[in-house]
Amino acid sequence: MSGDASLERAPERSRDRLISLPDAPTPPNAEVLSLEAPDGVGLRVARWSAQLGSPVRGSVLLLHGYTEFIEKYYEVVEHLLARGFAVVTYDHRGQGLSQRLLPDPHPVRQGGYQTDFADLVAEAVFVHDRLMVEALPRPHLLMAHSMGGNVALRVLQEYPQRFEQAALSAPMAGFDRIPLGLMNALATLHVWLGRGDRYVWGTGETDPGNAANRVTSDTARHARAMSFWQHEPGLVTHGVTWRWLREATRSIALVARPDRMARIETPTLLASAGRDLVVSSRRHQALATLNPRLQVVHLAEAMHEILQESDAIQDEFWAHFDRFTTSA
């Protein structure tokens, strides 16, 4: 596991609780754990056993996108529990109520800062080893969104026998508006100039009460997610830093290498959003040409956050998911 040995991490915070709101209650029988990753970073983890009285179909490790947190995925957890899956999910390092990677006081402590995406891969493997390998029923499915989808692809490449299936929602595989190489060059320059912990141009602090929505056509679901931020400011993650962008662009380029894509042995469903304003749906099709185990489904009306979309779009996604998971 890589990292910045000189980095003074943020203070500890309470990680033994989940937030429940009247219109977004915590799914019942949640187990909340505070785990310490092998490099000492504290992670907030939640686990749900498969529902009693229904056939057990397996277990899911669920990885979030950038800025996201466990509570935002309550509805997804309920879908999975209703289908007979046990679920494990957690706040990535630097997000939610897991440990932040910049010290207090710091002007962008709640912004995205990442020393190496290999650390995100290692923490996913750690959580799977610690809470699922011996404890939860097979088959094991890796499910992930956006940034988590990039991490998931790396897990599938580096640990090809670990999961029986994978389902990815709009994985971070590239961007359309600015060439990846240019983004990496700009980010690398800022890191070299000692500005790696500063916000990338055009990003910054987010006002949870007035947050722009570029990710879902369902305004009610977006408002519900923001209500968690308003209720618990500790969940907030603001804009990305130059260091995060450098590591993200490096990881995107790494994932897309043909030799690495060829390593994936896990049947993988990749849901791509037709109206995505965050990541490139075109790059999803390109990845699929590198490995026949990737099955791309195009959701024409979906924006980036497919799993937070309208009922009709979610119904379309879950229909694909059901066909995929029952055909294996």
pLDDT tens-digit series, residues 286-313: 999 999 999 999 999 999 999 999 999 9
Distance (Å, whole) CA 27 – CA 6: 40
Burial 117-155 (b: 16+ CB within 10 A, else e): bbbbbbbbbbbbebbbeeebeeebbbbbbbbbbbbbbbb
The SS3 call for residue 237 is coil
pLDDT tier for residue 8 given thresholds of 50, 70 and 90: very low
Tell me the domains of the chain and their CATH numbers: 31-327 (3.40.50.1820)
pLDDT tens readout for residues 128-150: 999 999 999 999 999 999 999 99
Distance (Å, whole) CA 236 – CA 81: 27
CA Rg, the chain, in Å?
18
- What predicted TM-score, i.e. pTM, was given to this entire model? 0.93
* Portion of the chain with pLDDT greater than 70, in percent: 92
- For residue 271, list its beta bridge partners: 169, 297
Structure tokens at 232: 């618990």
Distance (Å, whole) CA 45 – CA 64: 12
Examine the pLDDT at 211 and tell me if it is beyond 90: no
Q: Comparing C-alpha atoms, which of 66, 56, 45 is closest to residue 278?
A: 66
Angle in degrees, CA 50, 51, 55, rounded to 5: 80
What pLDDT score does 10 carry?
Answer: 46
- For residue 282, list its beta bridge partners: none
**Amino acid identity of 21?**
L
Lowest mean pLDDT among 18-27, 124-133, 176-185, 201-210: 201-210
What pLDDT score does 101 carry?
Answer: 80
Q: Greater confidence, 33 or 177? A: 33
